[in-house]
Amino acid sequence: MQESNFDLSANIEEYLVNCGWYTGRKIDSEHIIEAWKADKYKIFNSAIVFVQSFNGLNIAHEAYRGKEKDFSYFNSIKATEGIDPAWIFEEYSLKAGSDLLPIGLGYSEHLTYFIDPSFKFYGGYDDYFCKIGDSVNSFFNNIFYEKNFISIVSN
């Protein structure tokens, strides 16, 4: 798959490096792709590139509200197994206006993280659905620092 430098800012790259990530990280993603295929997801390159670089990282950060510690778990298989694909196809993808793939969990594992084909990132928990970032950098910046999650309601 295509390599990407993700255009990370210095502070985001440093944060990720401190959590075990490194430039050029590329894990085997076949088992993840198979899990997505088993649930009839449409597979796209941006998701493969993202999981090859970030899957398996457990990242500590501040909670959405307050200064307590929380975690984001980039475990695509656990995220895939933890959500009904019909919910994504019939709810979240329609709200996003795009195909989505589950890539991880955050905020006490209540929020499932998703990626679309253009490297936009979303989060969903039951009826709540939000946009988290327009790029890898803005996604991590919003999780680690800004917490600017934009709620998306039905069209």
Fold (CATH) for 10-151: SMI1/KNR4-like (3.40.1580)
pLDDT at 3 over 90: no
Residue 155: predicted pLDDT = 57
Exposure b/e, 78-88, CB count within 10 A at least 16 = b? bbbeebebeeb
DSSP secondary-structure letter at 64? S
pLDDT tens profile 55-91: 999 999 987 777 788 899 999 999 999 999 999 999 9
For all residues of the chain together, what is the average pLDDT? Answer: 93
* Residues shown for the chain: 155
Q: In the numeric block, which tokens belong to residue 81?
A: 């197994």
Mean pLDDT of 120-124: 97
Q: What is the pLDDT of residue 2?
A: 40
Predicted TM-score (pTM) of the model is: 0.94
Domain boundaries, the chain: 10-151
pLDDT value, residue 93: 97
Q: Mean pLDDT throughout 40-57?
A: 97
